[in-house]
A and B are shown apart, each in its own frame.
Chain A
Amino acid sequence: MFVNPLVDPADQRVPRIPAPCALTIFGATGDLARRKVMPAIYDLANRGLLPAGFSLTGVARSDWTTAQFVSHAHAAVAAGARTPFRQRVWEQLTASMTYVSGDVADPATYAKLAEALESSDQRFGTGVGRVFYLSMPPAVFGVICDQLAAAGLASGRAADRAADRAADRAAGAPAGGPAGGPAGGPAGGPAGGPAGGPVGGPDGAKVVVEKPFGRDAASARELDAALGRAFDPANVFRIDHYLGKETVRGMLATRFANQVFEPLWCGRYVDHVQITMAEELGVGSRASYYDGIGATRDVMQNHLLQLLAITAMDEPASFGAADLRAAKEAVLAATRIPGPVAECAVRGQYTAGWQGNIPAAAYLDEPGVSAGSTTDTFGALKLEVMTDRWAGTPFYLRTGKRLGRRVTEVAITFSRTASQVRAGLDTRYLGANALVIRVQPDEGMTLRVGAKVPQTDMAVRDVTMDFSYGHAFTESLPDAYERLILDVLLGHDPLFPRSREVEESWRLIDQVEEHWARTPGGPELYQAGTWGPPGADALTRRDGREWRRP
């Protein structure tokens, strides 16, 4: 076993740089690749965190040349990168780019891709690792995985060993070098064997998929099976970009490093929790994907339930990948819908209105939306976490498009003190204490406490303390995608949800979706630019509570 003498656990400065690898993006001309993935890759290159020996191959249907792809990427980087543009870095990155045009169902596409990867390996020395980023609708994951496996592209180690042997030959290194691969790793199979089977094994190629992870539990399992035909489960990285955000990672520190919070972080002191993810935008150009999926499947199943898991989980045994995941899985498995679904879930759809000073069309009038669509553009859900820490404390989740403003936050609302209800303190203007973790924008924390009103006898009112560590951060701090892509390349996976978490999330969402499918009438309407339909208010009012205005 080779132990790298230059890696020193006591050395906290040196960032890890991934091993050589070839990154292939399916759907490379798409929106996500343009807005997030390309800028993130450039930023990694600029920070010197891309591996020595890296290539970027774009696959898409557009009949483009590599030069066209490069100029498309240039525009994407110019618009989205967080670090300054450096011509030399850009030239180096573009030199490694190749574009393969073709249909994902066509074996010829994969023959071209194999050729491109082989050429990249020879030119840039990327041999060891392969990463396939599926920036495509989940419907085509199966066919891509099967084709990758059929083309022998999904297995990593065999190619790696072939590259080593080629290098040995080229170097004229003495024969009889360490048999079984110099890495002496756990990769099975004879050293000189042919390219491995369809499943790459733990050392095989990696695959990255984006949410949604299916549209229900059954399709999520099918997706898993499709990915599993080509890739080892440990090499499947599901990107939930919320988990790459600094504030979300910071929540773990806030919770477990602070004696002033952790003891209060339970049902005894917390009255309820609200998790909000509100968008200002409408469905825009995403109608073809969004219509029929809706807000609840699109974001509640992943972002909101992941935020719930991080908010509600017990302290993990460690912050390592396995322990962190176990803690999240445990809390999701303990989460249930407390009562009839009709009383715990609300769906809405926006009608025409105003988004600030800009007129907004109704969902049904957006281009690409089917006539009479009952797709939910708003979802609200009441959940209960049946652990000793939380039983009896409701978690209210809501998300929607065309809401009052763009904001994502987790609000912990505390119970009132006994003295609040006793005589002597004038608390008519005092709300409950709250700790709000602002995920975006204006990342930070707000603590709402009671303070005496000056010049009064003993009147108490709410005052908020806004803590913004984040606002001080420059835009050059890594974006969520940058961190997550680096984690994929390194094979670090503490924050990527595994299939168990996905399945537990669908268990909850499926109950809601099934209920809605059975219920006539469709979603409640709400005017664009408001905070959702009346039913959402009724949901909390039944419990004597109110939604925050974020």
Chain B
Amino acid sequence: MIIPLYAASTAQVATKLVELREDGGMAALGRVLTLIVKCEAADIETSIQAANLASMEHPCRVIVLTAEDLGGPASMDAQIRVGSDAGASEVIVLRLRGGPGDHLDAVATPLLLSDAPVVVWWPDRRPPVPAADTLGRLASRRITDVTACERHIVEGPGCAALLAAMSSGYTPGDTDLAWTRLTPWRAQLAAALEIPPLEPVTSATVTGPDSASTHLMAAWLADRLGVPIRRQDVDSSFMTAVEFHLSGGRRILLDKESEESQAVLRITGQVDRVVTLSRRSRAEALAEELRRLEPDEVYGRLVTGALPARLAHAPASGAP
């Protein structure tokens, strides 16, 4: 069910929410957080879809905010979505028009669930310093998506500038879906090192496009392994391989030839092993983010340490 409220006030939206609950006869709801989604108008539907799926795992109130300055006086159109149009709980869509649009925090505040943690997700454009953003200040966890920004900025400063911003603007509680999408890769790589011969890694190569994900992977490996990590650029839309060179001369290669769900683990002298390595949907990545509401220490260490260190030494062209 979608209930539109045109030229509404937040007070009307809040009243309607209480009415809906009383009419629906729902006595108790288990909700763990409020998820604020700040996106472009064009991304509303896809973002809601992802948020709804994630809310199945983490029941939450979803508040979607867009602000467009089309001139004219400030106004707001609202929608409340419940039932099959929402996930586990309700979705509130607030479209602000006109005016400066710098009061989004004031719009969201009356609609936050009492006491529950607040998470902000920017599915497309990333504020330069998420923790200083008007909405970001309301939240203990702030989720950006550099990969989506890369797609938005066709002729922009490129990946390096975004990564630099991610690094310089970092505040504990920030994470980025480019990092979340690496989790299946990191799990497979960690498991691969536990297959004999169990020898130390002397160097490694990350092969893929000049993207946030490959930079983060290289930074993570550099941080954990303390050995030279080379990044090899290829023209591809996804990371294609990570290779370890071992002290005994052998190598371990995790090789993803297509964007299909599988990759091949090749260890010198051993039979090739096929592993499942799917590209994760936005909803899956978002659900992983919402599992833990404390700062991701590992991510924090990377974006304040290994990542800027590598960016300083390697120009964006992608040399070692």
Q: Footprint of B on A, CB under 8 Å?
A: 2, 4-8, 10-20, 45-48, 50-53, 86, 88-89, 92, 122-125, 128, 160, 163-164, 167-168, 170-174, 177, 182-183, 444, 465-469, 471-474, 477
Contact = CB atoms under 8 A, between A and B. Distances in A.
B195 A128 contact: yes
Contact of A11 (B197, B267, B298): B298
Nearest to B298: A11
Contact of A92 (B187, B268, B276, B297): B276
A170 B262 contact: no
Interface in B230-278: 248-250, 260-262, 265, 267-278
Given A13-B288, A48-B187, A174-B248, A89 B276 contact: yes
B276 A20 contact: no
Interface stretch (B35-43, B51-59, B77-85, B163-171): B51-59
B57 A10 contact: no
A168 B197 contact: yes
Chain A at the B interface: SS class: loop
A164 B271 contact: no
Contacts of B250: 171, 173
B268 A15 contact: no
B197 A89 contact: no
A10 B298 contact: yes
B270 A167 contact: yes
B261 to A, nearest CB: 5
Nearest to B184: A48
Contact of A50 (B87, B272, B276, B296): B276
B194 interface: yes
Residue among A128, A177, A474 facing the most chain B CB atoms (10 A cut-off): A474
Contacts of B195: 19-20, 52-53, 125, 128
Nearest to A11: B298
A122 B273 CA distance: 11
Residue among A4, A47, A163 facing the most chain B CB atoms (10 A cut-off): A4
Contact of A51 (B191, B196, B225, B297): B191
Contacts of B59: 469, 472
Closest 10 CB pairs of A and B: A171-B269, A472-B88, A17-B191, A6-B190, A48-B276, A52-B273, A2-B198, A170-B269, A474-B56, A472-B59
A467 to B, nearest CB: 5
B199 to A, nearest CB: 8
B273 A125 contact: yes
A125 B271 contact: yes
A17 B188 contact: yes
A92 B53 CA distance: 28
Nearest to B277: A48
A19 B56 contact: no
A302 to B, nearest CB: 30
Given A92-B276, A173-B249, A183 B188 contact: no
7 contacts: A17-B190, A167-B197, A170-B270, A171-B268, A466-B28, A471-B88, A474-B56
Contacts of B186: 6, 11, 13-14
Contact of A167 (B188, B196, B201): B196
A146 B248 CA distance: 40
B196 A182 contact: yes
Contact of A7 (B28, B53, B190): B190
Contacts of B296: 12-13
A95 to B, nearest CB: 8
Interface of B: 27-28, 30, 53, 55-57, 59, 87-89, 180, 183-184, 186-199, 201, 221, 224-226, 248-250, 260-262, 265, 267-278, 288, 292, 296-298
A467 B194 contact: no
B191 A52 contact: yes
Given A173-B197, A182-B197, A474-B56, A16 B191 contact: yes
B191 A164 contact: no
Nearest to A121: B271
A17 B187 CA distance: 7
Given A122-B271, A123-B271, A465 B28 contact: yes
Given A48-B188, A474-B57, A167 B262 contact: no
B271 A8 contact: no
Given A86-B278, A122-B271, 11 more contacts: A5-B225, A15-B187, A16-B190, A17-B188, A88-B262, A89-B261, A89-B276, A125-B267, A173-B269, A469-B30, A473-B57
Contacts of B270: 125, 167, 170-171
Contacts of A167: 196-197, 269-270
A183 B249 CA distance: 18
Residue among A12, A46, A50 facing the most chain B CB atoms (10 A cut-off): A12
B278 A164 contact: no
Contacts of A20: 195, 273
A48 B186 CA distance: 12
A519 B187 CA distance: 58
Contact of A19 (B30, B180, B194, B269): B194
Nearest to A181: B196
A168 B27 CA distance: 65
A466 B193 contact: no
A48 B30 contact: no
Residue among B201, B224, B225 facing the most chain A CB atoms (10 A cut-off): B224
A6 B56 contact: no
A475 B274 CA distance: 27
A8 B276 contact: no
Residue among A4, A20, A48, A171 facing the most chain B CB atoms (10 A cut-off): A48
Contact of B224 (A6, A86, A465): A6
Contacts of A160: 196
Contact of B187 (A2, A14, A164): A14
A168 B268 CA distance: 9
A20 B273 CA distance: 10
Contacts of B226: 5
Given A8-B224, A177-B248, A468-B30, A48 B196 contact: no
A471 B89 CA distance: 11
Residue among B184, B187, B196 facing the most chain A CB atoms (10 A cut-off): B196
Contacts of A177: 197, 248
